[in-house]
Structure 1
Amino acid sequence: MREDIEFEAEGDVLRGWLYTPDNADGPVPTVVMAHGFSAVKEMYLDKYAEKFSDNGLAALVFDNRNFGESDGEPRYEIDPWQQVRDYRHAITYALTRDEVDGNHIGVWGSSYSGGHALTVGALDNRVDAIVSQVPLTDGYHNLRRLVRPDILDGFREQFDQDRLARFNGEEPQMVPVVSEDLLGDAALPTQDSYRWFTETEEERAPNWENKVTLRTVEMLGEYSPIDYVERISPTPLLMIVAENDQLAVADKAFETYEEAHEPKRLVTIDGGHFDAYVEKFEETSTPATDWFVEHLNR
């Protein structure tokens, strides 16, 4: 069963869905979920939540602040630390629901929010199990790998100009999330990013917008979940890494896994970043489901 939900978070209302098993006769373990960079919940999070619910778990899915159906200003700005706090607000809200077993809470994240799952799991002792799928683990490293040095230098100049403009009360500067022109000023300048976002918008998520604030790109370079991964233990951690991930680069994800302490498990898929959601859905959702069932039903 799926119910529309909303909850207050530092003055803004965040909106999403609560999935519960059809045969539940009391509170059940619950997974808290949000999407990655600029994505909205309609971009396949329903499929993961349905899988969890079909296996006896509740799933609380929400749109990130400033995106989708959630409130927040400025629109289309991603502050990673605000999103981490919003995961924690979502956990707090989950604990108020009669359907939720507050002693058995999992967090799931993918791509940018895969990094949030690591960070939240390290900082919030209410979390009992973590799944981090194709995660961004080092924003500075990622930017240097994705963006040509000359374009990155141009971004830095724009960051300074945008900071002054915003100080003077002007609207934030925007950049596309993706672009067909791989040499253009896109936040995610890869071919598979352009294809996945545009195709998924057309098929599933017409409310997705191809833009983020310029400051979003600056804050991406300042965010480093790998710095927190050693703190996760003894919370059980499952990482799912795409071996050919060129967006949330695979080598850094493997390095992050090595820095994590037990208990942990690594699952790899043969494919790229976005294969996790579609072509390899069963290969990502099944181990995630098994991990939560194993560790949240203790």
Structure 2
Amino acid sequence: MKREDIEFTGEGGVTLRGWFYPATDTSGPAPVVVLAHGLSAVKEMYLDDYAEVFAQAGLNALVYDHQNFGDSGGTPRQEVDPVLQYRDFRNAITYATTRTEVDASKVGIWGTSFSGGHVLMVAAVDKRVKAVVSQVPAISGSGVLSRFIRPDFLPHTRAALDGDRLQRFTGGEPTMLPAVTPDPMAQAAMPSTEAYQWFSKTSAERAPNWKNEITARSLELLTEYEPGSWISRIAPTPLLMIVSADDVVAPFELALEAYEEAREPKQILLTRGGHFDAYAGDGFDECSAAARDHFVKHLRA
């Protein structure tokens, strides 16, 4: 499918880069869906497939890399700052609405995993958004990390973060951690065998520019981030939440609890499988179709 390489300005003047997929079978300005990826991931990791599904349904699609990752600018490289990423979602919306192909009154946002949390916050405060899909979302930074770090490891982790803060303060380079690891007992942002297998396979097949590292400070910033606390403010913007029943990377219990706090109009799709099953095979077909139908219903009707 035809797509255009794009760039626009994000927070702090950083250049963000991505792709624009024009809607098919349209005669004038069409709705747009803005998409971004999760923790440490880059746009080549199946976001192009989602964008194509939306474009074929008559929806423009805009995909980009978060700052500090992939093709986008920004330093320190590989640093996850959830507040900057959330604000850049809004910058991406602004850029999209300046394009002649886009009907600025019909904006949808789609986020998965870590960005599944971002879109909850964006939809709660940015009423340019008329429909939102949050897929296998990270609901609570502190909640996720408390499950990933064993209680007896916490003092060591805190000491390492304090050391990294002092190192930066005195002009040193950021301490780096693996994003994933084959050893679930080793220190990493996502110490799960499932995460390691998915990132290793997907980066080898589709995304050679992905790097298996994030800054240690990223973990500290994650603990400050609680996007689920905003979910009750999304209404009346229609929400679709897609939750995997066996998700342990972004724990499904947290997503189900958050969904109960959301107000109508809302809809939930509970799928079988783990966190990464939404990106390929039958899981992709089910999740992409549900998201497509949600956006078509609320943006094209």
**TM > 0.5 between the two?**
yes
Q: Tell me how far 1:21 sits from its aligned partner.
A: 2.2
CA distance in 2, matches of 1:27, 1:65: 28
Q: Which residue of 2 aligns with 1:147?
A: 149
CA distance in 2, matches of 1:130, 1:23: 23
Contact residue 151 and residue 185 of structure 1 kept, 8 A: no
Contact residue 24 and residue 57 of structure 2 kept, 8 A: no
CA distance in 2, matches of 1:152, 1:117: 29
Contact residue 17 and residue 62 of structure 1 kept, 8 A: yes
Q: Which residue of 1 aligns with 2:230?
A: 228
Question: Given residue 5 of structure 1, which amino acid in structure 2 is its aligned partner?
Answer: I
Q: Which residue of 2 aligns with 1:292?
A: 295
Q: Deviations over 1:218-275 (max 9, x none)?
A: 1111111111001100000000000000010000000010000000000011000001
Question: Given residue 94 of structure 2, which amino acid in structure 1 is its aligned partner?
Answer: T
Q: Which of residues 271, 281, 284 is equivalent to 2:284?
A: 281
Q: Tell me how far 1:56 sits from its aligned partner.
A: 0.4
Question: Given residue 236 of structure 2, which amino acid in structure 1 is its aligned partner?
Answer: P
Question: Given residue 300 of structure 2, which amino acid in structure 1 is its aligned partner?
Answer: N
CA distance in 2, matches of 1:248, 1:115: 10
Q: Which of residues 174, 178, 192 is equivalent to 2:194?
A: 192
Question: Given residue 92 of structure 1, which amino acid in structure 2 is its aligned partner?
Answer: T
Q: Deviations over 1:202-222 (max 9, x none)?
A: 000000000000010111111
Q: Which residue of 2 aligns with 1:138?
A: 140
- SS of corresponding position for 1:187: coil
CA distance in 2, matches of 1:21, 1:94: 13
- SS of corresponding position for 2:117: helix
Q: Tell me how far 1:24 sits from its aligned partner.
A: 2.4
CA distance in 2, matches of 1:24, 1:72: 36
Q: Which residue of 2 aligns with 1:22?
A: 24
CA distance in 1, matches of 2:127, 2:294: 18
Aligned pairs for 1:171-250 (under 5 A) are: 171-250=173-252
Question: Given residue 126 of structure 1, which amino acid in structure 2 is its aligned partner?
Answer: R
Name the count of aligned residue pairs.
298
Question: Given residue 127 of structure 1, which amino acid in structure 2 is its aligned partner?
Answer: V
Q: Tell me how far 1:23 sits from its aligned partner.
A: 2.6
- SS of corresponding position for 2:260: helix
TM-score, normalised by the number of residues in structure 1: 0.99
Q: Which residue of 1 aligns with 2:95?
A: 93
CA distance in 2, matches of 1:255, 1:146: 19
- SS of corresponding position for 2:212: coil
- SS of corresponding position for 2:276: helix
CA distance in 2, matches of 1:256, 1:195: 28
Identity level (%):
54
CA distance in 2, matches of 1:134, 1:33: 14
Q: Which of residues 159, 165, 172 is equivalent to 2:167?
A: 165
Question: Given residue 4 of structure 1, which amino acid in structure 2 is its aligned partner?
Answer: D
Q: Tell me how far 1:14 sits from its aligned partner.
A: 0.1
CA distance in 2, matches of 1:203, 1:152: 35
Question: Given residue 296 of structure 2, which amino acid in structure 1 is its aligned partner?
Answer: V
- The gaps in structure 2 that reach 5 residues or longer are none
Question: Given residue 295 of structure 2, which amino acid in structure 1 is its aligned partner?
Answer: F
CA distance in 1, matches of 2:228, 2:9: 29
CA distance in 1, matches of 2:94, 2:66: 16
Q: Which residue of 1 aligns with 2:66?
A: 64
Contact residue 161 and residue 217 of structure 2 kept, 8 A: yes
- SS of corresponding position for 2:130: strand
Q: Tell me how far 1:173 sits from its aligned partner.
A: 0.4
- SS of corresponding position for 1:273: coil
Q: Tell me how far 1:182 sits from its aligned partner.
A: 1.2
CA distance in 2, matches of 1:217, 1:66: 15
Q: Tell me how far 1:8 sits from its aligned partner.
A: 1.1
Question: Given residue 206 of structure 1, which amino acid in structure 2 is its aligned partner?
Answer: P
Question: Given residue 297 of structure 2, which amino acid in structure 1 is its aligned partner?
Answer: E
Contact residue 45 and residue 61 of structure 1 kept, 8 A: yes
Deviation larger for 18-27 or 91-100: 18-27
Q: Deviations over 1:61-87 (max 9, x none)?
A: 000000000000000000001000000
CA distance in 2, matches of 1:209, 1:201: 9
Aligned pairs for 1:104-123 (under 5 A) are: 104-123=106-125
Contact residue 23 and residue 61 of structure 2 kept, 8 A: no
